[in-house]
Structure 1
């Protein structure tokens, strides 16, 4: 009887798979189309996420072709990342397809100038969480960790000094959950005051959204803390 019980426990153990590791790699679409300023770090960012995909069981597709934003094509993806997009990047039909993707449970992740994108599309503004207002010259600054348990920030210290281009924001969605806050006393040119979120997440219109304001410079993508921050955002969006 004891041997039968042991065999049964072993069977259950082998039959149950972790919910954190999908049996089939999830699909992520990285979109980098620009109609305004084009960041030199786009290619570096794509390469960094490609490296992360190889070690974290998700498949990555990179495109600047907005015609991929159809309801049928987006069904294959679990996450769409706007990596340093700028300006008006989708037409009206493509916008409708992307809205349907989110409403059907898809996820969105924005990196840096994703907030400098689609100013005339109010739905997108709420999805990404804010719009770009301005930025001072690049500099080092202190970031305060607000959330110590989120997968994108739990590896960070309470205070993190990082060099980047620091965005000031307008039209901040009050429903966002702030992960990191920028300390304006540690650099020049901040315009948001004590409440200066620089990374956040929220659920919106049926899907998940994550944004980080970091990622302007090529060098950012070589910083281990930032790479883990990016990966944590991706894993949150993939619901792991």
Structure 2
């Protein structure tokens, strides 16, 4: 497998009990990483872990409510313990994506979205990146969205939170890159997951606007993430990679 091989590395994936997170956890495990599957739902998390182990991979589940700062810090500590004192790869995938008019958005939604989409990655990077830097290597990927790049009615809250994450990606690349930690992001387009199932035909309508003309599978997004955390991307730093079927290119 060469430069895509992740054998011997410990990877923490948040929001990994379903969708893109679960697909990413499975793929990183296939490539040799010890994957720490983080999420709120223990039964779903343990199912993801069991599936990875059934295929010969190594995985453990960690419960975390990433909407609370102390729970985020606790997750970082537990991940380090399970990883034998280190975490080599961090995938900040957990996120909330409520849609709706700006004037009908309650303060509680604003607080919850920014707590999960911005503050949780911030706290995890603060807790884990310095140790990566001390070892001289590490890889972080933040999962953003294509609607962080352009305005969409009803997506002001979600899009703005991910736009903040895009800037954090670049700032962290500048901060930790000189010490061997690569920080990048992916911007998925419309993707078929459990979370997007309720969008029905609306998801297909969004997908039809892109050159690819279709929705992505969670595995397709995971492939981009797996590339960015691997040595194949050793010279890729501070990039926000569109994985959207070409939507933001046209």
Answer whether TM exceeds 0.5 for this pair. no
More strand by percentage: 1
More helix by percentage: 2
TM-score calculated relative to the size of structure 2: 0.36
